[in-house]
Amino acid sequence: MTIRKAKSKEEVIHALHTVAAEMHDKMMKGKPPAMTLPVRTKTNITFDKKLQVYKYGKNVSTRDATSLGSARVLLRSLHITEFIEQMINSGKSSTLREMYYISEGWGNGKFGTQNESNNLAEDLEIVTKCIREDFKLRPEEDGARIIGNVTFEEKNRKGEWMRINCRDDVGDSGYGVPYNVEAEKLKLVDQDIDFVMAVETGGMFDRLVENGFDEEARCALIHLKGQPARSTRRIMKRMSDEWNKPILVFADCDPWSFRIFASIAYGAIKTAHISEYLATSDATYLGITADDILAYDLPSDDLTKSDLGALQSELSDPRFATGWWKEQINLMQEIGKKAEQQSLAKYGLDFVTDTYLPEKLGALGLNY
Amino acid sequence: MTIRKAKSKEEVIHALHTVAAEMHDKMMKGKPPAMTLPVRTKTNITFDKKLQVYKYGKNVSTRDATSLGSARVLLRSLHITEFIEQMINSGKSSTLREMYYISEGWGNGKFGTQNESNNLAEDLEIVTKCIREDFKLRPEEDGARIIGNVTFEEKNRKGEWMRINCRDDVGDSGYGVPYNVEAEKLKLVDQDIDFVMAVETGGMFDRLVENGFDEEARCALIHLKGQPARSTRRIMKRMSDEWNKPILVFADCDPWSFRIFASIAYGAIKTAHISEYLATSDATYLGITADDILAYDLPSDDLTKSDLGALQSELSDPRFATGWWKEQINLMQEIGKKAEQQSLAKYGLDFVTDTYLPEKLGALGLNY
């Protein structure tokens, strides 16, 4: 279990200063300043047996100031360090987009694209062993919505802890997960559930809520909103660790939804350096499976060329290197079809909660 | 002021039965059944001086069963009528996507694409003078988030009214607006604000929240999430009508954001039949304006070909037929630039609340 102890302001600032100090020391010795980073591509991901998640392998690349491009990266790192320190001291946070615009004032350190600034923020996470939330940087996307009998305490803007039960204290839209769900901001205080079900689409989330599935099946429902935000993956990980509840993923049957599952269970390539905080290795893919398309005769669409390409690339993705996934992917390639969660509505609005989910959960030994 | 009285179940079912009855009567007289609808394109939108919003004009098209295509539309209308009646009687609702899949069981009435089923749902709104919320049909997209000192009562799944203050009872993510914000589901009970500010991007919404702008400027902040959902436009309209508060729109400076404003203020082509419920005709576009790009020397991007096409088409859109909009659009064409809200971060994270908004609001006579 990996309950992450939040880093103090001082620890984060110290970690950033270390990066600057290393550059300074090298220069004082007459050497070009440098930063060493793991290579962040699919070929450099390995399975960490102890942590049960994918992590970066041993390949590293060194950025030193002997080329203009690398020198610029180091300059930008120093500007970011200063910016983050200012935010920490003034109690602010910033979107990654805002940081990109703020670099307008950094002269030669100005970013050309937001992709560059996002990547550098991730690089700094690796070098400092901090996380983006420590840096007070946040993404644009919204976090998940949660409905069910679970209670959180969230520290609000005024520094007060607010107690929110995700069944009794929220409207139909549910509890909106904030961007920072570390212990300094969010506490998991109470629950009366048997499992957590993460749901890909808003339409299906609302269906399960309307049908009272959270109460009937004693579960917390999480709306993933497509590819889940870091905060969404992190809160599932915490619910798994701190409450010891199974995490089930209910998604469309298409290659992109499989990637959503993989990022929840094994981590994503871009965040493999913090997989142990984000990835819930015992998450289970519940459906829709390729088997389900056949077994339930679901309305389906033909796989597009881009779908087929994605499936093929998943066959060489270490996160899908299990017998079960290979079977599912091969079956999809064979039938050439994909299907949405909401296609279960073919059999009426209650079919998903009266028939499909009880059958699928029963097969996992989760009867209700 | 147009506070809409919610239609009772019986009224909605009666209105739908009337459609079926008309078809039945025609057939009994030996005539082909028919349905008459306004033409729903830009050329058939006119400005309603009394309501101060855009409405469909006088052009109508008749669907009668003398062609296979039209006969299919009438058959589908009857299937939808039956489906809606079942939902109303069993206290259910459905996404538009679910209805599309449910039509799998309608034989010749099965929809080819979801666009067809969405359009027919809107057609039925027009014919019956009901709204989609009366039909218990809802979109996939999420509604807005609101933060500020306003209090709503929302009727939850169990039929209980919950009181929620959007400053004190919610986390940082704010209050999530449900899909149905009619009086039967949501009451506007209390407020202590001077105006409402609708914000296009999540990054800027979070910036204003973090900077405490809602408290300092005594306003409610609404995150539009791009092109606003019907429920978002409706709740703004109700806040304008029932609380008599100015609605200000703060968006990116690009042709697509101008359309977001137009749909808030004057209604959208697809929903012109219910503009008086959705459109807030005295909403004000606060910025970012083309003037602002120059006045604040904002980081900007070149207009793309598709941006230029959109701007050109706005010059012939009746919703932009004012001197002020024509000036802004012409200026954009002249400078060939667009800019994002978050580009204000060029001057630091507080510039938007310390300088930009006070200056813009001051020009409107809203000092704080």
What is the dihedral sign for C-alpha A258, A263, A266, A271? positive
Q: Please give the pLDDT value at position B208.
A: 95
**In terms of domains, do A192 and A95 share one?**
no
Give mean pLDDT, residues A63-72: 86
Q: Is residue A111 part of a domain?
A: yes
What does the radius of gyration of chain B's CA atoms come to, in whole angstroms? 22
**In terms of domains, do B118 and B162 share one?**
no
**In terms of domains, do B159 and B209 share one?**
yes
Q: Please give the pLDDT value at position B3.
A: 60
Q: Is residue A102 part of a domain?
A: yes
Please confirm, yes or no, whether A101 is among the known catalytic residues. Answer: yes
**In terms of domains, do A131 and A165 share one?**
no
Q: Please give the pLDDT value at position B209.
A: 93
Q: Please give the pLDDT value at position A2.
A: 53
Distance from CA of A316 to the nearest CA of B (A): 34
Give mean pLDDT, residues A304-309: 96
**In terms of domains, do B247 and B232 share one?**
yes
Q: Identify the residue whose tokens are 């017998």.
A: A323
Q: Which of A101, A117, A181, A225 best probes binding to B when mutated, by most B CB atoms within 10 angstroms?
A: A101
Burial A233-266 (b: 16+ CB within 10 A, else e): bbbbbbbbbeeebbbbbbbbbbbebbbbbbbbbb
Q: Is residue A52 part of a domain?
A: yes
Q: Please give the pLDDT value at position A42.
A: 75
**In terms of domains, do B206 and B316 share one?**
yes
Cα–Cα distance, B332 to B352 (Å, whole number): 22
Return mean pLDDT, chain A: 91
Percent of chain A beyond pLDDT 90? 61
Whether omega before B274 lies within 30 degrees of 0, making that bond cis, reads no
Longest dimension (CA), chain A: 74
pLDDT band for A302, please (50, 70, 90 cuts).
Answer: very high
Out of A56, A100, A101, A347, pick the active-site residue: A101
Q: Is residue A1 part of a domain?
A: no
Which of B140, B170, B206 has its CB closest to that of A202? B140
Would you say A253 and A290 are in contact if contact means Cβ atoms under 8 Å apart?
yes
**Per-residue pLDDT at A1 exceeds 70:** no
Structure tokens at A361: 């959960």
Q: Is residue B309 part of a domain?
A: yes
**Are A101 and B142 within 8 A, CB to CB?**
no
Distance from CA of B342 to the nearest CA of A (A): 6
Q: Which residues of B fall within a CB distance of 8 Å from A101? A: 299, 340, 342-346
Q: Is residue A24 part of a domain?
A: yes
**In terms of domains, do B109 and B234 share one?**
no
Which segment of A50-59, A132-141, A276-285, B299-308 scores lowest on mean pLDDT? A50-59
**In terms of domains, do B115 and B230 share one?**
no
Give the pLDDT confidence of A329-342 residue by residue, as tens digits: 999 999 999 999 99
Q: Is residue B368 part of a domain?
A: no
Here the CATH number for the domain that contains residue B125 is 1.10.10.10
Residue A63 domain boundaries: 9-138
Residue A187: which residues within 8 A CB-CB, separation 6 or more?
A152, A153, A161
With a cut of 70, which residues of chain B have pLDDT below it? 1-4
- Which of A93, A117, A138 terminates a domain? The answer is A138
Structure tokens at B107: 């034989």
**In terms of domains, do A109 and A149 share one?**
no
HEC sequence for chain B: CCCCCCCCHHHHHHHHHHHHHHHHHHHHCCCCCEEEEECCCHHHEEEECCCCEEEECCCEEEEECCCHHHHHHHHHHHHHHHHHHHHHHHCCCEEHHHHHHHHHHCHHHCCCCHHHHHHHHHHHHHHHCCCCCCCCEECCCCCCEEECCEEEEEECCCCCEEEEECCCCCCCCCEECCCCCCCCCEEEEEECCCEEEEECCHHHHHHHHHCCHHHHCCEEEEECCCCCCHHHHHHHHHHHHHHCCCEEEECCECHHHHHHHHHHHCCCHHHHHHHHHHCCCCCEEEECCHHHHHHCCCCCEECCHHHHHHHHHHHCCHHHCCHHHHHHHHHHHHHCEEECHHHHHHHCCCHHHHHHHHHHHHHCCCCC
Which of B171, B178, B348 has its CB closest to that of A171? B178
Q: Please give the pLDDT value at position B2.
A: 53
More confident residue, A304 or A36: A304
Other Cβ atoms closer than 10 A to A114: 15
Here the CATH number for the domain that contains residue A194 is 3.40.1360.10
CA nearest A143 in B: which residue? Answer: B173
**In 3-state terms, what secondary structure has residue A223?**
strand
Query: Pick from A177, A164, A193: which is nearest to A225 by CA?
Result: A177
**Per-residue pLDDT at A351 exceeds 90:** yes
Cα–Cα distance, B48 to B115 (Å, whole number): 28
Give mean pLDDT, residues A217-241: 94
**In 3-state terms, what secondary structure has residue A122?**
helix
**In terms of domains, do B248 and B113 share one?**
no
User: How far is Cα of residue B129 from the mean position of the Cα atoms in its chain?
Assistant: 18
More confident residue, A250 or B22: A250
Give mean pLDDT, residues A176-202: 94
Give mean pLDDT, residues A9-22: 91
Which of B101, B138, B141 has its CB closest to that of A346? B101
Number of domains making up chain B: 2
Q: Is residue A2 part of a domain?
A: no
Give the pLDDT confidence of A78-119 residue by residue, as tens digits: 999 999 999 999 889 999 999 999 998 898 889 999 899 998
- Which of A138, A160, A178 terminates a domain? The answer is A138
Rounded to two decimals, the pTM is 0.89
Q: Which of A170, A204, A301 best probes binding to B when mutated, by most B CB atoms within 10 angstroms?
A: A170
CA nearest B352 in A: which residue? Answer: A98
Q: Which residues of B fall within a CB distance of 8 Å from A140? A: 201-203
**In terms of domains, do A173 and A75 share one?**
no
**Are A210 and B157 within 8 A, CB to CB?**
yes
- Which of B110, B138, B166 terminates a domain? The answer is B138
**In terms of domains, do A98 and A16 share one?**
yes
Which of A101, A143, A178 has its CB closest to that of B345? A101
Whether omega before B288 lies within 30 degrees of 0, making that bond cis, reads yes
